Amino acid sequence: MYDQRHAEFVSAYNAGVPMSRIARSLRISENTARKWRDMHKLPDRKARIIHGKTLPAAAIAFIREHYHAPGWTAKTIGKALGISKNMVIGKANRMGLGKTREGPTHLWGMPIAPPRSRCQWIEGEVTASADFHYCGKPVMEGQSYCRGHTERAVSPATWERLNEREAVEAV
């Protein structure tokens, strides 16, 4: 019985049957199936690219080609290559693929917000389009926006109080 089950396991594994399906058909846990794989010195099919090693040129080309392609995410690229999404994102960043325009950006090509001392007003459409950016002018004291954008953002009564405070501080 033992030898027969192991022979069935090795045969199914070498035929490319998914580990979960093999485990179900032999009524063993997936953990046991992994132990049997290791015991029989069968290659780990998922670990096509070993962590810490350099990616093959084909994998690098695949990431470069699909990273900004519509419908492809780091997760889908990782699944296609047999690596984690974090490995894809890390490699893409090291290859400079995370930056789609001038200035610092997030992985998705969105501009990073300027420091608190700069205006946080968003100009343009809030998408990954090229016209999306932050104002970036110096902010008014205690505000998140520059003078012009604070005026647009607050009510007239608040704007009057801010002007009064600014006049008092100037004296």
pLDDT tens, residue by residue, 34-51: 899 889 888 776 644 455
Residue 57 has pLDDT above 60, yes or no: yes
**pLDDT of 59 strictly over 90:** no
Residue 106 has pLDDT above 60, yes or no: no
Model pLDDT, residue 27: 92
Domain spans in the chain, listed from the N-terminal domain onward: 2-39, 57-94, 100-171
pLDDT score recorded for residue 97: 81
List for the chain the helix, strand, coil content (%; round to 5).
Answer: 45, 5, 50
What would the two tokens of residue 129 be? 């389009």
Asked whether 146 and 123 are in contact (CB, 8 A), the reply is no
